[in-house]
Amino acid sequence: MYLRGLVLSVVNKIVPKGMANKLFIAICVIGALLIFSLVFTVTTISQNLLYYNAKILLNNQAKQIVNTFDQYMEILKNTVMTASRQNSIKSLIFRTYSEYGSYLVYRDAYAYLKNIHEFYDWIHVYIIVRDINYIMSSNPADITGDYRKKGIINMEWYRQLAKSPIELLPLSNFIPPVSSNEEHFAYALRVRDVYKWKMCGYVVASIDKSVIKDMLKGTSFEDKGFILVLKQDGDIAYSSQPSIYNTVLSMEDFCKQLSDKGVCSIEERGEFYYSSWNSRVTGWKFIAFTDKAYADKQILNFQLSVGIIAVSTVVLLIIMAKLTAKTYIKPINRLIDFIHEIEKKEFAGQISLEAKDELGDLIKSFNAMIASVRQNQILRKKAQIYVLQKQIDPHFLFNTMASIKALAQQNDTKGVVSMIEKLSDIFYYNINPSGSSMTKVRDEIAHIQNYLDIQRVRFGDRIKVLYDIDERVLDYSMPHIILQPIVENSITHSMENMKSGYQLEIRAGFDGEDILFTVRDNGKGISTDKLNRLREYMYDTDGKVKTDEFGIGLKNIQERLFLLYGKGYGLSIDSVFGEYTEVRIRIPRFEKGEEGIYANGVDCR
């Protein structure tokens, strides 16, 4: 009973209550299933996977060794071919020097060999002159006056050179005349007098076989494997462990010991993984072996490690599940409390919680929704104020009345009547008796025409207006008083700075599924820097750009259109300083009678 009570007490402390309990259990169950599934999968496939990785590593390391070996042998090969063409060496081998010139030939040939050794300190070069049984070497210890006394002619490599039908051949059994009793890798070139078809000598470049031991360092063959190099006839050219293979093998017999699965069984040594590559320079076969038992032990250790990690992960999962449940529930509770508070404050305020997951996205979206609602309220008020400002423009009204007065003094009754009618239409349009924020394109164009007709009475020939209106757009709906502020900006900033030649183009038509208005003038234009600042100011929706350089007219229109229609609609401005300025207004098509549609969540009525 005591043990049962203790267990229940621990469980109650670990498992949270309420909604967090469901989240905790869900995380634990799902996590445990995933962990045990992963453990089962890993332990099932780890053997094949690790075997495959071991083979990949074996192949890569073996290939790297062969490539490095080929680089060394390529240098030896090039060395003997280059040396055979050197004048002093040719004179030495063919004995074409005079008695008095022999000193210079021997001196220059030896100097050439020493230069090669100084450049490649791991290479020694030998010049073997058959007629006088003489060997010159880059290693002074190997210079031999009569190599027959050293038993050179009885050495296997010498007999191989004498009998070989190949003029340039690799050697795996070259032994220096004096300095060493160990076999070296070498490349030998048989030098023949082509006119007499007489073999005059040999040029040999050698390298110590210990170079392969250096290649094995840091690889899986160094301690847990070995390298075997076979020549084309099956002779062993090199073995990093001579005690395993130290006899001449038949290539056919040796291949029988190799299985298709990349595993080779060696008597009293066990099983080995192997990888086979051919040298592109010598044609020799490199076979790299690594101990299979060592690789299997690594697999077992890995599986044990996976098991330990799985148990530790389950414990950690329980702890993290409890912390995660509490962490997620806390901001959710605060979010619920805030929603109740925000309802009472008319959407004033922001949630200050920070999170970088889905909850964070929810908080950001909720804050954005609150900001959008508040911005909607503010922009609608700003738009109303701006429209009121445009209804009573003292400067425009004063100039218009002055124009009417001038017409009256000229007894131009028709002109006075026309001006008063147009001014009356402008005021009536601004008053907007319907109270709707939307109007027809036809009415907006007529309003602009009235405004420009009054301006033309004032400025006369200084202003020229061109209209290009597609009649199909006239019955579509658009926001109220959008074009007049843009036209007024053009007259104020472009035309009034020009003495003559001002031209204003107003176009309206379809552009795909949208309606596109264009207002273009031939004024002084806007500089690139100023245009970039104007765009940054216009498209700033967060209120971060503060400036007194520009008015609120264009920005107010852009905010109204963005609020109504969303991204992709609104103003765009292009200008070339000294040439033109063009403002384009893009809005979606709203058929007649659709003014009540909610565009971008805002009531357009």
CA angle 252, 257, 259 (to 5 degrees): 110
Tokens of 168: 């340039």
Residue found by looking up tokens 């922009």 in the block:
379
pLDDT attached to residue 599: 47
What element of type H or E holds 480?
A: none
Structural domains in the chain? 15-319 (3.30.450.20), 434-603 (3.30.565.10)
Q: How confident is the model at residue 377 (pLDDT cuts 50, 70, 90)?
A: low
pLDDT at 534 over 90: no
Predicted confidence (pLDDT) at residue 36 exceeds the cutoff of 60: yes
Banded model confidence at residue 248, pLDDT cuts 50, 70, 90: very low
* pLDDT reported for residue 249: 46
Helix (H, G, I), strand (E, B) or coil at 175: coil
Rounded mean pLDDT, 284-310: 75
Given a contact cutoff of 8 angstroms between Cβ atoms, the answer to whether 172 and 231 are in contact is yes
Return the pLDDT at 355.
Answer: 64
Q: How far is CA 555 from CA 271, 487, 552, 573, 599, in A?
A: 81, 15, 5, 12, 19
Question: Tell me, what's the pLDDT at 3?
Answer: 63
Give per-residue pLDDT as tens, 195-245.
888 889 999 999 998 888 888 887 777 777 788 888 888 788 888 877 765
Q: Which two tokens stand for residue 187?
A: 């490349």
**What dihedral angle (degrees, nearest 10) is formed by the CA atoms of 215, 219, 220, 224?**
60
CB 555 within 8 A of CB 594: no
pLDDT over 70 at 129, yes or no: yes
pLDDT at 42: 67
Bridge partners (DSSP) listed for residue 552? none
Cβ neighbours, 10 Å, residue 207: 21
Structure tokens, 68: 């490095």
Coil vs helix vs strand at 572: strand
pLDDT digits (tens, 9 = 90+) for 481-525: 899 889 888 888 887 777 778 899 999 999 999 999 999 999 888
* Identity of the residue numbered 386: Y
Q: Which of 458, 503, 499, 506 has the alpha carbon at shortest distance from 482?
A: 506
b/e map of 368-399 (b: 16 or more CB within 10 Å)? eebebeebbeebeebbeebbeebeeeeebeeb
- The more confidently predicted of residues 586 and 432 is 586
Higher pLDDT, 424 or 476: 476
Cα atoms found within 13 Å of the Cα of residue 378, Cβ hemisphere only: 13
Residue 184 phi, psi (nearest 5): -125, 155
73-87, 375-389, 522-536 — which is least confidently predicted? 375-389
If we measure between CA atoms, which residue out of 355, 354, 349, 353 comes closest to residue 369?
A: 349
Low-confidence winner among 164-173, 261-270, 359-368, 540-549 (lowest mean pLDDT): 261-270
Helix (H, G, I), strand (E, B) or coil at 519: strand
> What pLDDT score was predicted for residue 602?
47
Provide long-range contacts, Cβ within 8 A and 24+ apart, for 592-597.
592/440, 592/475, 592/476, 592/477, 594/477, 595/436, 595/438, 595/477
| Predicted local distance difference test score (pLDDT) of residue 220 | 73
pTM of the model: 0.46
- 425-439, 447-461, 589-603 — most confident range: 447-461
Residue type, 109: A
pLDDT score recorded for residue 22:
61
Q: Over the chain, what is the mean pLDDT?
A: 79
State how far Cα 350 lies from the chain centre.
Answer: 37
Is the pLDDT at 445 greater than 90, yes or no? yes
Question: What local confidence, expressed as pLDDT, does residue 596 receive?
Answer: 46
Give tens-digit pLDDT for 305-317. 777 777 777 777 6
Q: What is the pLDDT of residues 63-112, one digit of tens each?
A: 898 999 999 999 999 999 999 999 999 999 988 888 778 888 899 999 99
| Integer Cα distance of 201 and 90 in angstroms | 10
